[in-house]
Amino acid sequence: MSNISNTSVTISVTWGFTPISELVLMPFSLLFNGLVLLAFLLNPQLHIPFNFYLANLVLTNFVYTLIEIPLDIVNGLYSVWWMGPAVCDLYQYLNYVFSGTIVNTHMLITVNRIWALTFPHSYTHMHTKRTALVGCAMVWVYVHAACLPGLILNTRVRLPLDSSGCQLNYEHLFAWNVFVEFVVFVLPQCLITVAYPHLLCQRRQQRLVRSAMDGPTLQEITTGPMTKNGGRQRDNKKAFGVLTVSTLSVTLTWTPGSVYYGMSCFMDVSYMPVYFLISSFLFLVQTVMDPILFMMVLGDLRVAVWQIVKKVHFWCLRMS
């Protein structure tokens, strides 16, 4: 710990677990999300409708890590907030809106698979790039509509930055905080967790039907006719793989935070600092896990990222 002093105030600097872990994980999150995002931008063959959800997710992860995490590191290092109210408002905006968009984009992937398996005919004819873009835009609108009222109201009842730091006035924003916590964060995670076993059983039943009858099955109707390389049925299999790793990522990294912040709405949780540190750490881990898991499941994406890495390596050798 070190101190920064002047005639009016002493600002202590504390290197705790949270800022250190964020400094360690931030480069990996920027690297992997940046590579996946670049692969989507440079490879037209990846521009299928379903991949637009993944591109939206890794873009949100990247911007969140690039801007919000450095502000969170500063907030964790210093005992007071010294960057002014405007930056504090930006920090809270990113904290709520971008984290909310991340979890709701995971939910959007689940909703997409529910649509594909439950209503295969409409999915085949209506799920286009435009539909995917509209779905991503609706997530952003939904999260903004839920979060912005409280964030704007907080600018009127702001706690003193020099004594309370960059914190929301939860006493005045109690009803909004409960609403946002459960509507934006808890309910999407519950939908993701509950829907996956149902979708897994439904997919298994379709595979049993396919093996027991001749001609096109519901699975093939959903994905279109087969081609020599597996065609759209293979794309559907990849999409379900993405759903699997997306559900795994959200369940492992979001559950502790959802429990903690849900409890904080109704009771004092200051006696559980270790639990808070773990939940905050796992959320940042999620931004690293997402692109890695997507590359593990999607071979085309993995090849595209590897080509980018080889080109960068070649350019570095030429410049050295």
Q: What is the pLDDT of residues 155-201, one digit of tens each?
A: 999 988 887 888 899 889 999 999 999 999 999 999 999 998 888 88
Residue 159 CA to residue 164 CA, distance in Å, equals 6
Residue 115 CA to residue 243 CA, distance in Å, equals 13
Question: What pLDDT, on a 0 to 100 scale, did the predictor assign at position 55?
Answer: 95
Tell me if 71 sits within 8 A of 91, measured CB to CB.
yes
pTM of this prediction?
Answer: 0.85
**All domains in the chain, ordered by first residue:** 48-284 (1.20.1070.10)
Question: What pLDDT, on a 0 to 100 scale, did the predictor assign at position 257?
Answer: 78
Question: What pLDDT, on a 0 to 100 scale, did the predictor assign at position 213?
Answer: 61
Q: Identify the weakest region by mean pLDDT among 44-53, 185-194, 250-259, 296-305.
A: 250-259
Write out pLDDT tens, residues 146-160: 999 999 999 999 988
* More confident: 67 or 219: 67
Residue 76 CA to residue 17 CA, distance in Å, equals 9
Q: How confident is the model at residue 211 (pLDDT cuts 50, 70, 90)?
A: low
Q: How far out from the chain centre does Cα 132 lie?
A: 17
Judged against a pLDDT cut of 60, whether residue 9 lies above it is answered with no
- The residue-averaged pLDDT of 238-247 equals 85
- The residue-averaged pLDDT of 255-264 equals 78
Residue 108 CA to residue 102 CA, distance in Å, equals 10
